[in-house]
Structure 1
Amino acid sequence: MTDTSADFLGTVDSATAALRVLFDPTPLQRNAYLSARYGADVWLKREDLSPVRSYKIRGAFNAMRKALAAEPDRRRFVCASAGNHAQGMAYACHHFGTEGVIFMPVTTPKQKIDKTRQFGGGQVEIRLVGDYFDDTLKAAQDFCAQAGAIFLPPFDNSDIVEGQASCAREILAQLPEGVTPDIVVLPVGGGGLSAGCVQVLRAAAPGAAIRFVEPCGAPSLKRALEAGAPVTLPKVNNFVDGAAVARIGDLNYRVLAGTPPEHVLLAPEDRLCATMLDMLNTEGFVLEPAGALAVDALRDLPEIAGRTVVVVVSGGNFDFERLPDVKERALRWEGRKKYYILRLPQRPGALRDFLGTLGPDDDITRFEYLKKSARNFGSVLLGIETSGRAAFEALEARMDASGFIYQDITEDTVITSLIV
């Protein structure tokens, strides 16, 4: 172990010990369901069971602790966040009795605002500014400079990284005696958690293979590794809001540089929804999309059979108003739901003829006339749920044989976003 590694582990040990005034180590649980499914020894690090239901409390607390030690008279902190970082900072403000000003986009759901305010316990002020996060961030930074406050960034900061690294320190202490991980799977957003945990694992468990996972719609680490430097993604899919970051943190990239790009796995957003529902229905775990990333990535790790695999479950702040969308996406990924635009003849008996093409497992979940396309035909938005892909192949064959004209729009995001 190099002196630098030893120094980092020492600071992480101090951060980990300091955290104990807030909460005991989050559980590391062997999961029998996933172990049997993948033929491996799968352990889940349950960061969704922290006081704020995510790992973000670690970095926020550590950064605030060190800032107060360095400048005890500066007791005003600022951040910009619509989610877990805001809640972590609010909790830390309540603990230290400091003032916090948290900037959130105007579009932030009321549930997240109320929860952040609750964690702050009267120590935080929430300001809603901007429709987009970039506007919110600029407002927070401008205010911070004018007020002489201390800005707490969500991930690209050495004290934040040091705090997040306590997660890995706990993992190694919690595994049964004599057991070391063969593979550790880490979710990636801005890179604070992964940069911290990687440094601990390299120093204290060098034999562990590390795999990273990002959402397909926000592969900021993978693209940076491919380019050899951080890049700003031109577009980000915000569905996995806890990991939808357009640019990996510069500090964090320096730690992760040299990682083979193929060690960064990409999770399709719709498949992630199936994983969320699976864990909810089988294990009773309420996971947010980012919190399910590492669990979902097990599907793409064929080499895990017979090995000890640690999966970091990063958060469980899920808004149940999103559940219908999650279910819809999961059904589409599983091949159990499709949307069509059907050209239906405007004549008596045409609807009856179409219904005759349906199989015993085919269920119409949406039937809506869009407009009259021509004098003798009308366009119908048709949603069908069935048992699987084979059932849809049979249905389409029957519709073809009956002369119906239709278009499958399930994967056309432009059309479905407008009319579904």
Structure 2
Amino acid sequence: MDDFADTALATTARMRGLFPATPLQRNDFLSARYDADIWLKREDLSPVRSYKIRGAFNAMRKVRAENPDQDLFVCASAGNHAQGVAFVCRHFDVKGVIFMPVTTPQQKIGKTRTFGGDNIEIRLVGDYFDDTLASAQAFCAEAGGHFLSPFDDEHVIEGQSSVAVEILADLDAPPDLVIMPVGGGGLSSGMTRYFRLMSPGTALVYVEPAGGASLTAALAAGEPVTLPKVDSFVDGAAVARIGQRTFSVLSGVPPEDVLTAPEDRICITILEMLNVEGIVLEPAGALSINVLDDLAERIRGRRVVCVTSGGNFDFERLPEVKERAQRFSGVKKYFILRLPQRPGALRDFLEMLGPDDDISRFEYLKKSARNFGSVLIGIETSSAANFTTLLAKLDAADFVYQDITSNQTLAEFLI
């Protein structure tokens, strides 16, 4: 057996002193939909509701084994990595200083503090993560601490490989295909190394958020590159630059096996898993399930494992998630409508609405015009096809309107 496989097995065994293996559950709902045998590796059910505890545990354990006097660990994170580090600091009874951006939601700060207790100190520094990271690294060097990288660290990669170890241990036969999310590459590179060694017949598919496709960019360039812009909605996987160590493992991945998931489409998966299955997933945790539609022909009749990497979802985001899901699926639209300033004009418009069309937003934008008034109107309906009927009626009646649903600039200011 390869040294990495031996290390992964030993690392996984040691984790049992910290937490039990996360469940690998067959999902009947998804299996029936795709005519496949679909299983979910529930990393959202770890003690910190993400897989990040694995890499943090292994890295801290190995550092302390090499240097027993090292009792200060530092990290920079606004989310799951911070919570994993905090939990493991308390487990090993060492001091942790966790740097988080000033803009970090109180919910995440509170959870990190709960996991770490008196063993951690949280420092809020910088409006942007780059500033937070620089401050954390400067403090770490000055204080003689050990900096815990969220993904680009060999010990972290070894720790994340334990997800693959548990998957193969729980099944009576290797899966045909495994779908995993990619951010900085810690989880995906660790799992890839183990599967290549222990189950080379298992196909691997990688999923990135469309607004943070750092692996896709690196494969195209042949080396890690920094994305000029990142959409932070999928905060658990939206990374501007994949790690150097992780890319050395993933550099041979065929580009066609790396899929991207639109942020708004991910919202549909979050809502569906919550409403149908009662499973709470954060955006990054929904990535692997979200691309099942794209793989429908490939997975029919096959055994598939989707890694649900995290469930740290702030329910204050639920209205935004619902809004984005409705817009993507075409059942909610926003218009600027020029409404004639005459008695009965509004009634004429309302009579064009179908029985399933509801007005969710109505606001006059300009009330001083003598002949026409501009109205911001939001409409929800049961089927995207209903808008075809409505717009045909508006055109026939010579109403002037503009669909601003996909206009990011106008939507930001008006919606």
Q: Structure 2-normalised TM-score? A: 0.99
Q: Is residue 71 of structure 1 aligned with residue 59 of structure 2?
A: no
Q: How many angstroms apart in 1 are the aligned matches of 2:243 and 2:285?
A: 19
In the alignment, what sits opposite 1:163?
Answer: 159
For the residue of structure 1 that corresponds to 2:211, the secondary structure is coil
Cα distance per residue 1:90-145 (max 9 Å; x no partner): 00000000000000000000000000000002100000000100000000001001
- 2:403 corresponds, among 396, 401, 408, to 408
Question: Counterpart of 1:295 in structure 2: which amino acid?
Answer: I
Which of 354, 361, 366 in structure 1 is aligned with 2:361?
366
Q: CA deviation at 1:373?
A: 7.2
Aligned mates of 2:386, 2:298 — CA distance in 1: 32
Number of the residue aligned with 2:261: 267
Cα drift, residue 368 of structure 1 = 0.6
Q: Is 1:50 matched up with 2:46?
A: yes
| 8 Å CA contact retained: 1:129, 1:139 | yes
SS in 2 for 1:73: coil
Q: Which whole-Å CA distance do the structure 2 matches of 1:162 and 1:374 have between them?
A: 66
Q: Which amino acid aligns with 2:351?
A: G
Does residue 9 (structure 1) correspond to residue 16 (structure 2)? The answer is: no
Letter aligned with residue 268 of structure 2: A
Report the TM-score when normalising by structure 1: 0.97
For structure 1, the residue ranges without an aligned partner over 5 or more in a row are none
Equivalent-residue separation in structure 1 for 2:301 and 2:389 (angstroms): 39
The residue that corresponds to 1:116 in the other structure is: 112
Q: What is the CA–CA distance in structure 2 between the aligned matches of 1:346 and 1:233, rounded to whole Å?
A: 49
**Map of 1:205 onto structure 2:** 199
Distance 1:375 1:152 in 2: 64
User: Which residue identity does 2:196 align to in structure 1?
Assistant: R
Q: What secondary structure is seen at the aligned counterpart in 2 of 1:306?
A: coil
Q: 2:144, 2:413 → 1: CA distance?
A: 46
Q: Paired residue for 2:390?
A: 395
Match of 2:289 among 295, 300, 321: 295
Residue in 2 aligned with 1:377?
A: 372
Deviation string, structure 1 residues 174-229 (Cα, Å, up to 9, x no partner):
11x2x111100010000000000000000000000100000111100011111111
Cα distance in structure 1, aligned partners of 2:147 and 2:249 = 22
Root mean square deviation, CA, Å = 0.9
Partner of 1:33: 29
- Percent identical pairs in the alignment equals 67
2:323 alignment counterpart: 328
Q: 2:125 & 2:43 partners in 1: Cα distance?
A: 29
Q: Distance in 2 between matches of 1:69 and 1:52?
A: 24
Moved more, 111-120 or 395-404: 395-404
Give the 3-state SS of the residue equivalent to 1:291 in structure 2. helix
User: 2:201 aligned with 1:181, yes or no?
Assistant: no
Question: The residue matched to 1:300 in structure 2 has which SS?
Answer: coil
Secondary structure of 1:121 counterpart: helix
Equivalent residue, structure 1, for 2:309: 314
Once residues 108 and 140 of structure 1 are traced to their aligned partners in structure 2, the CA distance between those partners, rounded to angstroms, is 15
Matched, 1:341 2:341: no
Q: Please report how far the alpha carbon of residue 375 of structure 1 lies from its aligned counterpart in structure 2 after TM superposition.
A: 2.5
Residue by residue, what CA displacement relative to the aligned partner does 1:16-69 show, whole Å, maximum 9, x if unpaired?
111111111000011111110101100110000000000000000100000011
Partner of 1:353: 348
Q: d(CA) in 1 for partners of 2:336 and 2:211?
A: 27
Q: Does 1:248 align with 2:236?
A: no
Shift of the alpha carbon at 1:262?
1.2
Q: CA deviation at 1:374?
A: 3.5
Whether the 8 Å CA contact 1:68–1:74 is kept in 2: the answer is yes
What amino acid sits opposite 1:362 in the alignment? D
Distance 1:161 1:393 in 2: 50
2:57 aligned residue: 61
Q: Is the 8 A contact 1:373 1:379 kept in 2?
A: no
Q: Distance in 1 between matches of 2:280 and 2:16?
A: 25
Structure 2: runs of 5 or more not aligned: none
Q: Is the 8 A contact 1:45 1:171 kept in 2?
A: yes
Q: Secondary structure at the match of 1:186?
A: strand
Code of the residue aligned with 1:330 in structure 2: it is A
Q: How many residues align?
A: 414
- Where do 4+ consecutive residues of structure 1 move more than 3 Å? none
For 1:172 and 1:418, the matched residues in 2 are separated by 50
Q: Structure 2 counterpart of 1:19, which letter?
A: M
- Aligned to 1:21, what secondary structure does the other structure show? coil
